[in-house]
Amino acid sequence: MAVPMPSNIRDMFCDHRTATDLEFNIGVSVIVGVPLPKDGGEALKRVHEAANEGRVEAQFLLGAMYDDGFGVPQDRGQAAKWYREAANRGNHRAQNNLAEMHRKGEGGFSRDTREAVRWYREAAEQGNDKAQNNLGAMYALGQGVSRDYREAESWFRKAADQGNTTAQSNLGAMYRDGEGVTQDVQKATRWYREAAEKGHTEAQVALGVMYADMYFRREGIPKDDREAGRWLRVAGEQGEASALAALSVIYLRRDAGVVTWGQPKDQREAMKWLSVAAEKGYAEAQFVLATFYHKGVISRWSRQTARYRKAVRWYRAAAEQGHVEAQALLGVMYDRGLGVSQDSREAERWYRKAADHSAEKRV
């Protein structure tokens, strides 16, 4: 029977996304250096024995098993214990995972970004591409170290050159926005494409948006709705809701910020992708869909009450995720009794939420 194998463990001895019990036991045999165990219970026993004997790969493996609840009840405290044992003996995977626990405050640790940076660096200097990317992110964000975009770019590049798609996407963002490097849209496109072609959804979305955005035409990237649509569809098929929302925009015609409609086919395509994104829970898509129903951009000839009810449904969905504009407009719907019974108290509640969230953003 095939069972999902967490990437923590899979990276050590298996190139598949699933592993049979036999494959897992073979992996244990190779790592721990003992004869092939006959069953999962025996395999776990062997891992424990080898870890207690100080075998570093077994210590990491045991930490990963506890971290992911693979073959044992999930226990982050035990995971941290075994990661530390392996990290202190120089295991770069354990060092990276231990850094993650310090950064997030897991495994019984208090959140400590300085300690996270220390362990990321230990692993990164051994060539661990995940740690190199993570260390780059710490420099870019100024967490645990002073913000330093040059250092960030250097570590992202080391990881990207090893094929790390997150690092490639991060480099794309730096060159696109000119953060810490001279803005270079051509280089941004190159790095985004590297990651996108390997399935990185954020890079696929970013690449699609760059092809759709007229701004980048001035920077040497031709506006190409077909290419934009291709990448956004690929990301959308992997479940990236923001891609579906962006894809819907390609089928809208914009003039001075006012949405107008193209051909009926474009309308249907726009609504299809926007609705899918909204159903997947993407707050911005929910908000846009709500405003379309509210203002009559879609379903113009439907009964006004029916349109307003749909608007309320989507305003509420976005508002409950903290979308400030949706909260304010949901307040308006209650205040005026549009699509809901008029309710001044409920209107006040949503107005207040919107005001509070706006204040938080300014802090």
Burial of 106 (0-12, 13-18, 19+ CB in 10 A): middle
Q: Which of 75, 93, 127 is the last residue of a domain?
A: 75
pLDDT the model gives residue 243:
61
Q: Are residues 262 and 200 in the same domain?
A: yes
| pLDDT score, position 226 | 74
Above 70 in pLDDT, residue 147? yes
Give the chain's domain count. Answer: 3
Predicted local distance difference test score (pLDDT) of residue 246: 63
Instruction: Enumerate residues 6+ apart whose C-beta is below 8 A from 197.
Output: none
Residue 36 clears pLDDT 60, i.e. is over it = no
Q: Residue 358: its pLDDT value, please? A: 61
Neighbours of 180 (CB within 10 A): 18
pLDDT at 282: 79
**Same domain for 362 and 307:** yes
Residues 333 and 355 in one domain: yes
Q: Sorting pLDDT into bands at 50, 70 and 90, what band is 137?
A: very high
| pLDDT score at 308 | 92
- Residues 6 or more apart whose Cβ sits within 8 Å of residue 85: 51, 56, 59, 63, 94
Read off the pLDDT band of 69 (50, 70, 90).
Answer: confident
- Whether 193 and 226 map to the same domain: the answer is yes
Q: Is residue 178 part of a domain?
A: no
Partnered with residue 20 across adjacent β-strands are 2
Single out the residue in 26, 53, 75 at which a domain terminates. Answer: 75
On whether the CB atoms of residues 212 and 181 are closer than 8 A, the answer is no
Is residue 275 domain-shared with residue 287, that is, in the same domain?
no
- Give the distance, in angstroms, between the CA of residue 362 and the centroid of all CA atoms in the same chain: 25
Residues 213 and 258 in one domain: yes
Among 228, 166, 162, 217, residue whose Cα is nearest residue 192: 166
Residue 36 resides in a domain: yes
Is 120 a member of any domain?
no
- Report percent pLDDT > 70 for the chain: 71
Q: What is the CATH number of the domain that holds 328?
A: 1.25.40.10
Residue 175 lies in a domain: no
Specify the higher pLDDT residue, 205 or 29. Answer: 205
Same domain, 288 and 259: no
Q: Residue 178: is its pLDDT beyond 60?
A: yes
Backbone angles phi, psi at 362, to 5 degrees: -80, -15
Q: Taking 50 as the threshold, does the pLDDT of residue 361 lie above it?
A: no
2 band by pLDDT with thresholds 50, 70 and 90 = very low
Q: Which residue has the higher pLDDT, 53 or 252?
A: 53
Report the C-alpha gap between 123 and 96 in whole angstroms: 6
Instruction: Judge whether residue 233 has pLDDT over 80.
Output: no
Identify which of 222-226, 247-251, 280-284, 333-337 has the greatest average pLDDT. Answer: 333-337
Enclosing domain of residue 240 = 183-280
- The residues, any chain, with a CB within 8 Å of residue 336's CB and separated by 6 or more, are 342
Residues 233 and 203 in one domain: yes
Task: Please say which residue of 224, 246, 280 terminates a domain.
Answer: 280
275 and 315 assigned to the same domain:
no
Has residue 158 been placed in a domain?
no
Q: Are residues 261 and 291 in the same domain?
A: no
User: Is residue 23 predicted with pLDDT exceeding 90?
Assistant: no
Give me the mean pLDDT over the 213-225 stretch.
58
In a domain, 288, yes or no: yes
Residue 186 pLDDT more than 60? Answer: yes
* Domain match, 289 and 257 both: no
Q: Report yes or no: 95 and 119 within 8 Å, Cβ to Cβ.
A: yes
Give SS3 for 108. coil
Give me 269's structure tokens: 């395509």
155: in domain: no
The per-residue pLDDT for 286 is 87
* Whether 314 and 273 share a structural domain: no
In a domain, 237, yes or no: yes
Asked if pLDDT for residue 363 goes beyond 60, the answer is: no
Least confident of 39-53, 101-115, 329-343: 39-53
**Rounded CA Rg of the chain:** 25
pLDDT in tens, 269-325: 667 777 877 887 878 778 888 877 887 766 554 578 888 999 999 999 999 999 888
Average pLDDT value for the chain = 78
Lowest mean pLDDT among 158-172, 203-217, 337-351: 203-217
